[in-house]
Amino acid sequence: MVVGLTGGIGSGKTTILKYFKSLGVPVYIADQEAKALMNSSTEIKQQLIRLFGDEAYKEGVLNRAFLSAKIFSDKALLQKMNAIVHPKVAAHFKTWLQQQEAPYVIKEAAIIFENNHQDQYDYIITVIADEALRIQRVMARDGATEDKVKSIIKNQWSDADKVKASDFVIVNNSLKEAKDKALQIHNSLLKKLNP
């Protein structure tokens, strides 16, 4: 069974994932794997250089700052990049999934709904948190400005929309409550598998 885990920037997805991992659940972080593939796959490298030019890579390593700046304001370019990277990540995930023996796995992806990928999951968990707290977390983590974080939040689906489309919701304003909720979800997923 494949469970999707999503949530807006700064909602604390990574923290919740670590907790699920501590419960023995295999976890696949789509964004991390995409970055790894963008650095290791010759085919992806060639296609990205064709799309963005030689500046896409610096000394053979993905030039993330350059790419972020390029795609941030250009939706068409972002879609072209995703069309190169997403199918490779999907294939990588399939291979990874076949090697797992746990009752269920979690695949974390920040934009499940934005990319209309919800049908790829048996269940979806959304992590939410108060916007002020999310902004604070991202500013501390990335050194980003408040305006930059707000503009990223604006580009993502609202928490209200995500909640409506999700099977489970974890409110991550307090770590203890969030972990308690994650444990409840874990037990309820195991029950669904073995009624």
Q: How far apart are CA 27 and CA 20, in angstroms?
A: 8
Is 13 annotated in a binding site? The answer is yes
Is 4 annotated in a binding site? The answer is no
Burial group, residue 1, by CB count within 10 angstroms (0-12, 13-18, 19+): middle
Decide the pairing of beta strands 2-7 and 123-128. Answer: parallel
SS3 percent helix, strand, coil of the chain, rounded to 5, is 60, 15, 25
Q: Read off the tokens for 27.
A: 């976890």
Is 14 annotated in a binding site? The answer is yes
Q: How far apart are CA 45 and CA 8, in angstroms?
A: 28
Is 126 annotated in a binding site? The answer is no
DSSP helix/strand/coil, 87? helix
* Residue 9 phi, psi (nearest 5): -60, 135
Q: Provide the phi-psi class of 174: left if phi over 0, else alpha when psi is between -120 and 50, else beta.
A: beta
Q: How far apart are CA 101 and CA 106, in angstroms?
A: 13
Is 80 annotated in a binding site? The answer is no
Is 145 annotated in a binding site? The answer is no
**Annotated binding-site members:** 10-15
**Annotated binding-site members for ATP:** 10-15
